[in-house]
Each structure stands twice: as C-alpha cells, then as structure tokens.
Structure 1
Amino acid sequence: MDSKTRYVELQSQIDIQNLRSAAPKHSDEEGLIGSKRLNGNADGRDDLFDDLDFDVDSHPLITGESRGGSGVSGAVFNLTTSIIGAGIMALPATMKVLGVVLGFVLIVLIGILSEFSVELLVRFLVISKASSYGEVVHCAYGKSMKILTEICIIVNNAGVLIVYLIIIGDVMSGSVHHSGVFDQWLGHGFWDHRKLLILVVLVVFLAPLCALNKIDSLSLTSAASVALAVVFVVVACAIALIKLAQGTIEPPRMSPDFGSKKAILDLLVVVPIMTNAYVCHFNVPSIYNELETRSPQKMNTVGRMTTVICILVYALTAISGYLLFGNDTESDVLTNFDKNLGIRFSFALNYIVRIGYILHLVLVFPVIHFSLRQTVDALIFEGSAPLSESKKRSLALTVVLLALIYLGSTMIPNIWMAFKFTGATSAVSLGFILPSVVALKLSKTSGPGSLNATEKFLSWLMLGLAVIVGIVGLIGNIYSLSNPSQ
C-alpha cells in the first residue's frame, strides 16, 4: 500500500473517531440519520456528511489496511450461492403459469432490479458506516425498523432452509406421487421414513458446515455448489434439446392462461415466488466485509457478474424444465425426474440431475444459515461480543436453529406453500422495498451518495412494483387457503 493511500485511510479513521466523540447521543427511535445533528445547518446541509469527504466508489466499509479476504471470484461464488438455491426448482412451475414469453421477461427484469437494489444497499452501507443490513435500515428509520428488518431476514432464511430439507426429503425418500432415489435403488426400507432421512442428513452433513464462523470459509463449497447447479442446467437443457429434435415435446404455452379462477389465482402468487429466487441481500454485507481490498465499485462488479450468471441459469432451467414436463411440471421440478424421459440413458441422467442438485443444496445450506445465525444473534444478543469470538454462543445458536428448521420441514407440506408466503412478505421486502426506501431516505442527507434522476426513478419504480406484488401476492395466498378448491 503506498503512503498516500495509507494517509487518506488514517485521516478517514481520525475524522470518524472525532465525529463519534463529538456527536450527541440520540434515542434509538431517531436512528443515526434521523438525529438532530444530521438535520441541521442553516444552509440545509448535514454536518456528518460534510465531514465525510471521500469518494464513495473507492472507500471501504471497514477502513484500514486489508488483512486478506476473498477475491472477486470467491465473492461471486458466495453471492451466486446465496441466490441459486431451492428457488430455481420452482421456476419451471412459474413458467407453466406465466407462459414462456412473460416468464422469460420477468426473470430478466427481476434480476436487473435485484442487482440495482444490491448496488443501492452497498452504497449506503458504506456511507452510513453500517456493517449489516439491519444497521443501515437503523440509520435511516431507527431501531424499530431495524428489528423488523432482522425479523424479515429470519423468516426468509428459515423458510428457505426449511424448503431445502423438504426437497432433500422428497427427492431421496420420495413423496406421495413420486418415487425417491433410495426406493429406486434399494427398494422399500427404513429410508422411506422421510423425517429420519432428513434428520440424518442434517446431523451428518449439514451441521458440521453450519458450525463454521466465517462465510469466506465457505468459498470452496460455494464454488462446488455453483458447479453442481450448472451441471443440472446443462443436463436439463440437453435432454430438452434431444426431445425437441425427436419431436416428442408438446408446444409450450407462450402466454398466461386466464381460462379459470385457479389459473388467475396462480398468476397472483407466482410473481412473489420469482422475486424470492433473487433475494441475497441478507448476505451482501458479510460478503462485502470479507472482500479483499473491498470497495463499492468492486462489489458492484461482483453483483453484476452474479446477476448475469443467475439470469442465464434461471432462464435455461425454467424453459427447459417446462418444455420437458409441460402441464405435469411439479412445484419442485426435481420430483419430475423419477420417470423414463424417453431418451437413451434416461435413468442415469435422472440420477445425475437429482443427486447432483441435492449435493448443491447441501453446500448452499450453510451459506444461508450463516446470515440467519448472525441475524438472530444481533437481535437477541445485541451489544455482545462478535459471534466469531464466542464459539459457545455460536454453537448453541447453530444447534437451536437447526432443530427449529428441522421441525418446520416436518410441518410444511411442499415448497410452493413456503415460497408463496415468504415471497410475498419477507423476500419482496428484503430484496426490493427496504433497499429502495433506505436509498430514497438517506440520499436526501448524503452528499456523496445522492441519487441522480435515473436512480431516483428506478428506486420509486422498484418500490411501487414491489408493494403491488407483495399486496396482491398476499391477498392471493390468503384467498387460496380459504378456497382450496378454486
């Protein structure tokens, strides 16, 4: 590091320390940005942001010399793993509801908006000197909103992890309408007991990975999980192309079906399920903090590379899965791969698809669990030493959370039910509503982080669309529960 760069960073640290010692205390309800100190020069400018005279595109969230961390590729793998999880398995079913054209457009549009919201989140994490999602919301709207944000993260991540266990159980031990991998290999036996199988996987494979204290420790497993997801996509696309060449695939529906109440109801709930597939924001601060020589500009590069990968993977998976199974596509498309696909080596390919993706979920699980554990710790043990410095507290939280997730997986019937509600509530809030309202609020008082006209328009557009999707999706979910026959 050259002397000039070191001087700038040291000066920034001194300025921040002086600001903290000079700043008057304020109530939790005000939050950092809402405090009197930030509202008040006669010329309408803010004292804090006047003193923060640095380039937001190159200033790190944690000042000082970098002590190592993950590179761009490692960060891309971790962020991609945070996104590509169980949500991908529901996308062919959403394509069945929306049709190919509208489904593809929404996959691209939601991906772009999600990446924009990640950039907003990173920018205001740096400006507000926050180290977590909850803290930056606290800076904008106070402690009450911080607690609400942390609850959203807990609900979203716990729901996702429950879905992972449901999929593992469905694929390995079978479900009501589909045979499991073990049934096809070994016939009936104790492995038919779904709850027992999930418990064994949880204790033997998932718990050791979940016990790790740094997300950077999961970079290699994240890379492996992305590779397995790519294998799934390649095999699914290859099978679809072979069947297209054979002429054995029925023409897909290109537009939504409005022919029945059930079809219309499905339309109301399917977009929140798609938004759920892109939510990774809860892991963005952790990934950013462990990024080597971190800066918002570098993190934006990570976000854009991740978005391109995810859009390609999601679009190919959704289209190929829908082409293969048409109107028989299940909410978890993996369960469709239990029958003869009508091509050579069909059953071998089925095993590759199902087992490969189960391994992918096993490797993704600890990445999502990491932010869940961090958030629960911040909510319950606020003000305590960092979780990475307390192995006993970390282990205790891990055990309790895994036990609760296991219980949830035994109570929720299918992934469609879980995704419908988390997608319309916590997922749409974390991915789109909160980043936009935080940016719109903090940009009024932050000179280096002010939004330009295009960014303001996109923020308002994202906020409006997210609120509509959330409200409509929630109403549709409630109606579908009260009228199951529709």
Structure 2
Amino acid sequence: MELQKASNGHHDLSPDKIPENGFDALENMTDGDIFLPNKSNGNTETQFTDFEGKTSFGMSIFNLSNAIMGSGILGLAYAMANTGIILFVFLLICIAILSAYSIHLLLKSAGVVGIRAYEQLGNHAFGRPGKILAACIITLHNIGAMSSYLFIVKIELPHIIQGLLEMPDSSDYWFVDGRYLIIIVSVFAILPLTLMKRLGYLGYTSGFSLGCMVFFLISVIYKKFVKEYPDEHSYNETVPTESIYNSANDMSEAKFITINPETAFTIPIMAFAFVCHPEVLPIYTELKNPSKKRMQNVANISILAMFVMYLLTATFGYLTFYGNVKPELLEMYSKKDTLMLCVRLAVLIAVTLTVPVVLFPIRRAVLQLLFPDKPFHWVHHISIAVCLLFLVNLLVIFVPNIRDIFGFIGATSAPSLIFILPGIFYIRIVSEEQEPLKSRPKIQAIAFVTLGFIFMIMSITFIIVEWVTGKKTSGGH
C-alpha cells in the first residue's frame, strides 16, 4: 500500500521505500491528523489507505465492543468468588485502563508510519520476521477464540433444542447432535457474514449480539432478586440446596477479599477479557472521518461499556450463588427454566455473531503473508474464510476439550497482543528524536512490555500446574 502526500505532486512514501530516518512529515503528525483522504479547499491531504472509511462512530463502537465481548463473561462470577468483590473490582479497573493504554500505543504507532494493519506495524518495526510474528499470533489467538465460541454452540444448542421441544436428554436424533449443529450454524449463519467485504457492514449484527448479552445480564440480575425454590427448578439440580439457602454457611456469604489457590488462576481470565487488539486497526481503517483521537474515543467507550457489563454480570452472578458458583455461570441455572432457556439461546446467538468479527483479522493476516501486494480479490476473500471455518469446525468436532488445547495458545498470544507487541512496536517505530528512550512515554511502554512478559510467564505456569495437578480452571475469551 502506498502512502501519498499531496503537495505539488504525489511522492511515493511506501513503508518499504522510506529510509529509516526519513519520516519527517509523518512524525510531525498530531493526534488530530487524519488517517484517510480529506478534501479541504480543493486539495487532497495525506492519504494512508486505499479507500475512504464509511463506518459510523456508533457502528464502530458496536464492532469493537463485540470484539471485546467473549465467552469469558460467563466465568467472571467464578473469578469474583475466588478474589472477593473489592479485589475483583480493583483488578478489573486496572485491566480496563491498561487495555485502553495499549490501544493508545497501537494508534500512535500507526499514526507515525501511516499504516493500518497489525502485521504491517510488525513489518515496519522488525522487518518480515516482525510481520510473520504478528500475523501468527493474531491467527492462533483468533482461531482459539472462534473455536471456543463454536464449542459453546456444540454444547449448548442441543440442550436448547431439547428444552424447546421438551425432549429427554438421552435423545439421539441427529438434530440434537452438536457435531452436526455446528456445521449447520457455520454454513448458514456464520459463512454468509464472513463473506462481507468490509468489517463495518457487521455493525448491525454486532449491535444485535450486544443486545443478546444485555438480555443475559438483565436475566442474571432478575434471578438474584426473584429466587424460586429448588423444587421449582430455579437452580441446577447439581447444586446442594443447603449450600444455597443456609446463610450460616461460608459458601453463602459475600467475601470482599478472598485469597485461595484458585485466585491466581482467575487473574489471567480477567486480563484476557479485554482482548480486541487485532480488530482495532481494521475498525480504525473503516471509521468515517478517522483520527487517532476519534478512534481512541471508540475504544474508550467500548471498553467502558464492557467494563460495566462485566462488573454487573460478575457481581449479580456471584451474589446469587456465592461460593457455589461454577466456572460457567449458565451451568448454575436449571435447563428446565424457560427464562434461562431463552438466555442460553441469546448467548448462543451472541457468540455466533461474534465469530465473523473475529475471523476478519485472521483473513487479513493470511492475506498480508500470502498476497501482500495484491488488490482485493473475491476468490482470496471467500476461499480463506471457507478454509478457516473448515479448520475450526474440524477442531471443535474432533477435539474433546478445546480449552485445554487452546489454553496454552491463549496464555502466550493474549499477553502478546495486549502488552508486548503494542509496546515494542511503539518503542521501535516512534523515533529517538521525537521521544528519547529515557522519556516518560518510552519508559511507560518498557514497563508495559515487562508487565506483559510477567503475565505470560504467570499464565503458562498456571496452565502447566493445571496439567500436572489435574485441577480445572475456567477460561475463554
């Protein structure tokens, strides 16, 4: 992609052709500088992309919020049970702020060199090895996220159909077999959405997906205040009655600060709840009237909205079941409860509509590696989407426990996308003349990268401990 500057003529400023010390015009850009063409008094100013963004501010918020929202929301009540209310809120605030800062580093790096893809930032910072590293991490992380979403479809959709048709759990009809159902959902629901040419078109489905999760949140709050008795199947039959209703039991009292062996396992779950970084630059590219400040506002509003949803879901889920809460909150509710059956369906729709948003960055990464200089081509666009869905379907169908396999990938890719890559790209791309290595912004970025490595080491350690001891933890994006 060529970077063009309109003055008396167009000068080629392609990242591959610019000297390492020749970014004078680009380095002087401010936060208000645009990222796409802008006509002013008949003159076209700096152009950084090959088409003008047309996605509205609101639709961009829907898309980024949908990218943040993941299956991990179902495990946050369990995380609160193992940290306590005060410690959970403190950690969630810290992680939300760090995530917003991480996006700030990405946008500032992109503004300096005028490129719009994570992989291209890697290419500018470290050459082809950096480009390949960024593309591989994005691909592995998002394939893991897609697999976790489809795994929820595989497990929950048969129960929903059985509940709606009042069929016994032992039914062996093909239409309650999760393996067939994920293929049907992938072909008829996910594939058509992945064939959209631009991510901005998914704003409507992203908004609907978020609406489904709001319904889930409202139902969780409702169930806290409208408790039915166990013989009315308000709760999952596997939860001991005396544990729920005996207020003298420690498992039925709210804890403000809790430290136990499971506490360390819940911190990565919370840290990974705000992973959306592969989608940030594609959404930025398609934003109407884009600037770093405008895109940062999109990110801040999206993170704030998800922070509120995460906090409310965790709080009311925890205050309903206290220490008895399971790693997946929906497991606590009876499958015979009509309201919660509808909630399960809403969550299923939400994760299904999130898959196309997650697939877009993978396709962009593959295109950057295989066809970096080729224009848009429908054959490439469609074939990569079909191959990715085929691969993910195979994994979900034949792998019995998808989270164990992708746990290690998530432990390495998520800290890389949130902390490490944005930090090192920023340090490498922003010149010494503009910000010396000992300047406050650079020192903050170095500390940020260090924190990312600490998170990665912690996460890998927890995964290994889980494998060795056989302990079960929750996860998912």
Write the distance in 2 (CA, Å) between the matches of 1:365 and 1:323.
Answer: 31
Change (3 A) 1:457 1:415: farther
Stretches of structure 2 that go unaligned for 5 or more consecutive residues are 40-50, 229-243, 473-477
Write the distance in 2 (CA, Å) between the matches of 1:107 and 1:15.
Answer: 51
Which letter maps to 2:5? S
Which letter maps to 1:56? T
Residues 1:273 and 2:296 aligned together: no
Change (3 A) 1:91 1:451: farther
Write the distance in 2 (CA, Å) between the matches of 1:399 and 1:125.
Answer: 30
Write the distance in 2 (CA, Å) between the matches of 1:352 and 1:113.
Answer: 35
Write the distance in 2 (CA, Å) between the matches of 1:322 and 1:256.
Answer: 13
Q: Name the SS for the 1:107 alignment partner.
A: helix
Write the distance in 1 (CA, Å) between the matches of 2:9 and 2:98.
Answer: 33
Aligned to 1:433: 420
Which letter maps to 1:405? V
* Aligned-residue offset at 1:75: 0.9
* Aligned-residue offset at 1:319: 1.9
Aligned to 2:341: 351
Any conservation in 1 of the 2:63–2:207 contact (CA below 8 Å)?
A: yes
Residues 1:444 and 2:431 aligned together: yes
Write the distance in 1 (CA, Å) between the matches of 2:430 and 2:227.
Answer: 52
Residues 1:317 and 2:319 aligned together: no
Any conservation in 2 of the 1:74–1:219 contact (CA below 8 Å)?
A: yes
So what's the TM-score if we normalise by structure 1?
Answer: 0.82
Which letter maps to 1:12? K
Residues 1:111 and 2:111 aligned together: no
Q: Name the SS for the 1:289 alignment partner.
A: helix
Aligned to 2:202: 218
So what's the TM-score if we normalise by structure 2?
Answer: 0.83
Match of 1:369 among 345, 359, 362: 359
* Aligned-residue offset at 1:138: 1.7
Residues 1:52 and 2:26 aligned together: yes
* Aligned-residue offset at 1:359: 1.1
Write the distance in 2 (CA, Å) between the matches of 1:139 and 1:254.
Answer: 47
Which letter maps to 1:239? K
* Aligned-residue offset at 1:103: 1.9
Which letter maps to 1:256? T
Write out aligned runs for 1:469-484 (5 A): 469-484=455-470
Change (3 A) 1:331 1:419: farther
Any conservation in 1 of the 2:148–2:403 contact (CA below 8 Å)?
A: no
Aligned to 1:12: 5
Which letter maps to 1:393? H
Q: Name the SS for the 1:18 alignment partner.
A: strand
Change (3 A) 1:434 1:11: closer
Which letter maps to 1:361? V
Which letter maps to 1:364? T
Any conservation in 2 of the 1:268–1:473 contact (CA below 8 Å)?
A: no
Aligned to 1:298: 294
Write the distance in 1 (CA, Å) between the matches of 2:72 and 2:362.
Answer: 17
Which letter maps to 1:372? I
Q: Name the SS for the 1:212 alignment partner.
A: coil
Any conservation in 2 of the 1:60–1:293 contact (CA below 8 Å)?
A: yes
Aligned to 2:238: none
Any conservation in 2 of the 1:273–1:423 contact (CA below 8 Å)?
A: no
Write the distance in 2 (CA, Å) between the matches of 1:53 and 1:213.
Answer: 32
Change (3 A) 1:53 1:256: closer
Which letter maps to 1:121? L
Which letter maps to 2:359? H
Write the distance in 2 (CA, Å) between the matches of 1:15 and 1:362.
Answer: 50
Deviates most, 347-356 or 292-301: 347-356
Which letter maps to 1:115? A
Residues 1:392 and 2:397 aligned together: no
* Aligned-residue offset at 1:209: 1.0
Identity of aligned residues (%): 27
Any conservation in 1 of the 2:26–2:114 contact (CA below 8 Å)?
A: no
Change (3 A) 1:409 1:399: same
Write the distance in 2 (CA, Å) between the matches of 1:125 and 1:12.
Answer: 16
Residues 1:335 and 2:331 aligned together: yes
Write the distance in 2 (CA, Å) between the matches of 1:402 and 1:233.
Answer: 29
Residues 1:256 and 2:270 aligned together: no
After superposition, the C-alpha distances for 1:364-387 in whole angstroms (9 at most, x for unaligned) are 1111111111112222233322xx
Aligned to 2:441: 455
* Aligned-residue offset at 1:156: 0.7
Change (3 A) 1:370 1:158: same
Q: Flag the structure with higher helix content.
A: 1
Q: Number of residue pairs matched?
A: 434
Aligned to 1:379: 369
Q: Name the SS for the 2:274 alignment partner.
A: coil
Stretches of structure 1 that go unaligned for 5 or more consecutive residues are 1-9, 26-31, 39-45, 174-179, 341-346
* Aligned-residue offset at 1:53: 6.5
Which letter maps to 1:377? L
* Aligned-residue offset at 1:74: 1.0
* Aligned-residue offset at 1:116: 0.9
Aligned to 1:182: 161
Any conservation in 2 of the 1:132–1:286 contact (CA below 8 Å)?
A: yes
CA RMSD of aligned residues (A): 2.8
Change (3 A) 1:76 1:484: same
Q: Name the SS for the 1:12 alignment partner.
A: strand
Change (3 A) 1:318 1:61: same
Match of 2:69 among 84, 92, 99: 84
Any conservation in 1 of the 2:279–2:361 contact (CA below 8 Å)?
A: yes
